[in-house]
Structures are given as structure tokens and as C-alpha cells.
Amino acid sequence: MSDKNNEIFESIDEIRAAIESELEITEEFADFRVLNRRKEGSLWILEIEPVKALSGLDESYEGSPVWWGSPSAGSADLLTIIPEINQIVLRYATGPPPDEGYLVRIYPPRYLESLKKVWGDDTWACSCIETLNGLLENQSDANGFLKLNDNLNLRKQQERSFRLTAYPMGFLWGPPGTGKTYTLGALLAQYLVQNKQSRICVVSSTNIAVDQVITSVDDHLEKMNDKFSETARKHCKRIGNHFIAKYYGNRKHLLPAVDEVLLKKLIQLQTNPPAKADIHKYDRWKSEVENIKKQIGQKNEQIIKESRLIALTTTRAAVSSETLKEFAPFDLMVYDEASQVGRAHAIAFLPLAERHLFAGDPMQLPPIVKSDKRDVRRWLGKSMFYYKNEITSNALCFLDEQSRMAGEICDFISRTFYEGKLKVAADCLRDAGWLRERKLKQYQDISDRNIQLLNCNSDARWDNRIESYERSESAEMIVKIIKMICDVTEERDIMVLTPFRAQRYRVRNMLQQNGHTIEVNTIHRAQGTERHTIIFDVTHGDCKFMKNYEALNMMNVALSRAKARLIIIASKKDRENPIIKQIASSLSGDTGSVISSIGEYVKLESYPGCLMGKTIYMPHISFAGKVTRIYGNKFTVRALNKQKAVEKTFDAGTIREKYMN
């Protein structure tokens, strides 16, 4: 067997092992003890507690089936969850759920099962790895670049992105506020018009992202206003039943009409199921439900065959992999929010198309995994941006102009996370309305600066009930801040962010008690959003996950949501966190260095020489500082504090191996 074949099989084995490892700690079901129950109309509200300490409630459980066996067996659908107070709401219950002391079992979705099935096909798995190797080896210009359309009104780097589809594998890197979705919509619209027989498959990690991309394509096709673009609009379809209706008010042509009718009937049937005791009636009902689902599936297959652009979630793509294989190859496969899609998931689709375009931001949240195992981190915890340094530079486009953040916030985000490459778009600086919205006046104790760092005197404490950290002082500070700024800022334009569920609950509760309806979120729920004012409560900067490899990305997401005002609340202990320390130094005027994770450099050919003079962060030991010396295969990192300088020397080869794997 050749070395190349060995490498292919080794990669397949690693990917399969990664999926199995993640599934092992992704619970098949979770048992909860009922503490209280009450009925409101047809709904049941249960207060519950986990039987196992680690089986906390998560909003991703919504829609899951719920079962109980005592005192009498029954089941229901989980309508909604309020995890902060361990409360669930059940609908379609077959009977009363159990009372205090009894157990209910929740079966959460196990999305990796579909991916496991895809990788279980030996022939397809080999094809996936072979396609990946071929894409990395072949970096040539395929068939020229897309033409620019004057009606699309694009910035310089957005125009440059039109080159990406000429390469077997291209990367569109879109930092916060740079108009990635707008750019992607323009690019795909032009691709459809210029290549009139082409077929495109668009996948994304969330339903809302899928909705935003396909409506952006439709917007740009409409702007082109010619017969070819109008024809193309009719052949773009949103696949799947979990679309956000508001996006399609005037765009029903993007939804399969037959699906709409059948879905209405399906919803009606499932809302009124007959009693299982009436076996004949129940049998007829179930058969009708199954038949409609089959029709929807058949119609979706026909839609995939007839459409020039289909858009669906990565989960739906994995479930529908056999159908996609049947109608492949596509001319172009597009992965939106690609930085949140694990490598194993993306690679599983590579044989479906001739060319691939990955759009996202590797400096924002990565794919979420639970396991710390090497294979899991390598194949499920890293996105395809892992390969961005292995392709020709022409196949990577960095959108460097943003229109969200005020100049001061943009400069701060650019220095801290993007090596100073991000700037305010020139057209925004000429827009009086844009500038006026971001110009602040000093109000009471709130500065007229776009960024303000406020000190909190106390540190966080552990909340045993919610199993998370909270801090009452900073929650009280937030209430006071909002009372002040609500006189000049609408509540809908304010969002509070914190990394911890317990603090989210505390802040939200205190705001509600004071008559405020401010949105309070954890950072993972905030990506893709923006507000005039962001209040970021660090809460517990000394926590382990606030110092790990992904912490820099998480901070970027939290702080870059702000359009005009960014308020950061941190204690003295919080500021000992290397990332928070860098942020504090930047805000105090020490802007001479940019912090980057060591992982950003280890894959470069110039490593470790490229480190010289850089301020880097070593996540595995929570150490940050400036590289002052490089000798042989060693480099020295110097960190300064008020008392002394601390130096650490590292072996470059050992570090590279750690982060490459």
C-alpha cells in the first residue's frame, strides 16, 4: 500500500474516531427529577433538576422528545426551555407528566449521527480525503474571474472577492461589519448570471444564516434587472422546513410552494393527534403524517434537481447526503459561516462540487465541541480556515472595510484582533448620518468616548444551582448604567453580554425587576448581531475557558457587536487575564502591540522567525508577551507587569506540533 493511501486511511480513521469520541460524551438522553409542575391551558410547565451534575439544560434541547415511565408512561414535545431557572414547557403531552420526585427523560438532538453515517461509507470517505488533497495541490486559476456588475455597488476588496470562484478552493474572510453576507450575495448573483448553466449549493451552520444568504442573492439578482437575472431568481430555492418566515414576505418564489401547502396540513395534523387508545384512528393519522413527509421529501428531491441554487443547513445537507450525491456535481459549493463548521463536516461535502468557497471569520467563534481529545479538536473543533495558509494568496480575500463600528471601536478591534488591517469604510466616513449616530455626548457618569472600561471591586462567585459564575456588583452596575443611558438610547438598541449563564440570569432578572426589557445574552448567542450600545461584563476573567485557545475569538465576538458605545466591566483580578490585560493596555494608550494566538503563526513557512517583535498569547499556559529573541529553534517571550519582567523560552518544534495537531 502506498504512503498516500496510508495517509488517506489514517485521516479517515482519525475522523471516525473523532466523531465517535464526541458522540460518547454527547448524551443520548438526560434524566431530570421533577421538582414542581403546573398546567396552563394545554401546556405543562415543569421545574426540574439534573440527576447527573453535568446534565445541565441547554436551549438546543428545544423541540426534543420527552418521555417518562412512572407513575404512568407518557411523552411530550419540549416547546421551550428557561435554563437559568431549570424550567421546561411541554406541549402535545399524551398524559399528565409526573409529579414531584419522579423522573423525565429528554432525548436531545444528536446531529453527529448523520455525519457519522456519511463517513461510514468507505468509498465516499476515500473520495473526500482525495478531493481535499487535490484541492490543496491544485491552486491554479480555473476559468478566469467573474465580471463586475456596476449595479452591485461594491467596495475594493468586495470587488476583489469576485476572483475567488476561479480557484478550486477560495476563502472569503469577513471580519465583523465588513458585509460578508452582502458580498457573498453579490458574488453568487453574478456567478448565476455569468455562468447560465451553473448550479450552486450553499450550506451554513444555522437556519438564519441560510435565510440571510439566499435573500441576499435574490436582492442582488433583482438589482441587476435583466431577463437573465429574473430567470435565475425563479431557480433559487431554500431547502428545509425551519426557515424564518419574515425573510420571505416578498420572496415566496424562494420557497417551494408545494412545501408550504403540505407543511400547513402537516402542522394541523400534528397539532391534533388522536388518542393512541383508538388504534385504528391513530394508525390512519400516523400513515397520513408519514405520507405527507414522504411527499415533502420527494418534492425537495425534485427541487434540488431543477434548481440552479439551493440553500440549506449543514445538518440538513448531512441528512440529505444521498440526495445531494445523486444530483452532483455542482459547479460551486459555498460554505457560509464556515469558521463555525468543523473540518470533518465540510470535507464530507467536497466531492459534491468542482470548486469550493469558504466564507467566514476565523477570529470569531470556532466550531463547538465538548471533548478535549486530539482527534476531536483537530477534525471537529477546527474549521476549513485551518488551510488558509496552504493556498495561493490570490485565493484568499480579506474584507478590510467595515461599516458597523465607530472609528475608536474599529481601531481597537483592528489592533487587538486583526493586526491593524481593519478600518472604517471610506463611504461611511463621508456619510453624515453614519457619523452622527456614532458621535456620543458625555451623559452623567458615562463618557463621550466610544469605549469605556469600568472597574468592579468584587470578583465572581460560583452559583451551585445554575452551575456557573455570577457577580452581583457588576449586575448592579449594569442596572445603573442602563438607567442613565436609556434617556438617550432606545432599549432595543442596547445589549448586555457575559460569558456566564448564571450572570446572564442575574442581570436579566435585575433589569426586569427595574422595568427594563434589555436583551441579555451569552457570547455564543450574540454572533451575527449588532447594537448601538454593548455592555460587556467579564464576570470571571480568571476562569480556565476565558484563557484557552478560543478565548481571543470569544472576546472579539463580544466586543465587536457595538456600533457606537462599548462599555467593559472588569475587576482587578479580571485584568490579570492575559487577554483582558491586553485590552486594558490598549484602552490606556499602550497601542504598540497586537496580541495574536501562537496558533496563527505555527503553520507559516517563516515560523519561528515571523514571531520576532510580535506580542503573542500561549493559550496552553495562559501566558502572553512580546517575542524578544529567536535562536536556533528556540524563542523567548517577555511579559511585563508592574513589579518585574518575566521571560519564558519555548521550543518552536514542540509548540508547532502541539498547535498543528
Mean pLDDT of 342-362: 95
Query: Sorting pLDDT into bands at 50, 70 and 90, what band is 299?
Result: low
Task: Please give the Cα distance from 309 to 313 (Å, whole number).
Answer: 14
Asked if 365 and 381 touch (Cβ cutoff 8 Å), the reply is no
Grid cell digits, residue 656: 508547532
Residue given cell 484563557 in the structure block = 547
Measured CA to CA, the distance from residue 521 to residue 530 in angstroms comes to: 12
> Strand pairing partners for 645?
640
pLDDT digits (tens, 9 = 90+) for 244-263: 667 777 787 887 765 667 76
Nearest to 586 by CA among 605, 601, 570: 570
- C-alpha span between 281 and 151 (Å, rounded): 58
Question: What are the angstrom distances between the C-alpha of 335 and each of 3, 111, 391, 556?
Answer: 31, 18, 17, 22
The Cα 496–Cα 514 span in angstroms is 15
Q: Which band of pLDDT confidence, cut at 50, 70 and 90, is reported for residue 294?
A: low
3-state helix, strand, coil in the chain (%, to 5): 45, 25, 35
Sign of the four-CA dihedral 532, 560, 213, 180: positive
Backbone phi, psi, residue 498, to 5° = -150, 150
H runs (alpha helix) in 439-522:
472-485, 501-513
pLDDT (tens digit per residue) in 391-405: 888 899 999 999 999
Q: How confident is the model over 149-162, as pLDDT tens digits?
A: 777 889 999 999 99
Q: What integer pLDDT is reported at residue 259 of this predicted model?
A: 62
pLDDT, position 590: 55
Residues sharing a CB contact under 8 Å with residue 262, sequence separation 6 or more, in sequence order: 292, 295, 296, 299
**Mean pLDDT score, 547-565:** 89
Q: Which residue has the higher pLDDT, 86 or 258?
A: 86
Whether omega before 274 lies within 30 degrees of 0, making that bond cis, reads no
pLDDT at 143: 63
The answer, as to whether pTM is greater than 0.85, is: no
State yes or no: pLDDT of 274 exceeds 80: no
pLDDT for 431? 93
Q: What values do phi and psi take at 577, rounded to 5?
A: -60, 130
**pLDDT score at 279:** 46
Q: Does residue 76 sit in helix, strand or coil? A: strand
**pLDDT on residue 173:** 97
Q: What is the DSSP string of 231-287?
A: HHHTTEEE-SS---GGGGTT-GGGS-HHHHHHHHHHHHHHHSPPPTTSHHHHHHHHH
pLDDT at 592: 47
Give percent above pLDDT 90 in the chain: 46
Q: What is the pLDDT of residue 169?
A: 93
Cα-trace Rg, the chain: 26
* pLDDT tier, 276 (very low <50, low <70, confident <90, very high otherwise): very low
Most trustworthy range by pLDDT among 50-64, 423-437, 546-560 = 423-437
**Closest of 538, 616, 615, 550 to residue 577, by C-alpha:** 538
Report the mean per-residue pLDDT for the chain.
86
Which has the minimum average pLDDT: 53-57, 493-497, 594-598?
53-57
Q: Give the residue carrying C-alpha cell 517575542.
A: 627
Which cell numbers in the block locate residue 481? Answer: 448604567
Rounded Cα gap, residues 649 and 659, in angstroms: 17
Across 18-150, where does the E strand assignment appear? Answer: 30-40, 43-50, 65-68, 74-82, 87-91, 103-106
Q: How far is CA 180 from CA 158, 254, 359, in A?
A: 8, 21, 7
pLDDT (tens digit per residue) in 16-49: 999 999 998 887 888 999 999 998 888 888 999 8
Comparison of pLDDT for 128 and 638, the residue scoring more: 128
Residue 594: the pLDDT is 59
Asked whether the predicted pLDDT for residue 366 surpasses 70, the reply is yes
Distance (Å, whole) CA 334 – CA 360: 11
Confidence of residue 125 (pLDDT cuts 50, 70, 90): very high
The residue type found at 105 is R
pLDDT value of position 506:
92
CA distance 244 to 194: 30
- Residue 623's nearest CA partner among 655, 588, 592, 589 is 655
What is the mean pLDDT of the segment spanning 167-184? 95
Mean pLDDT across the stretch 599-616? 80
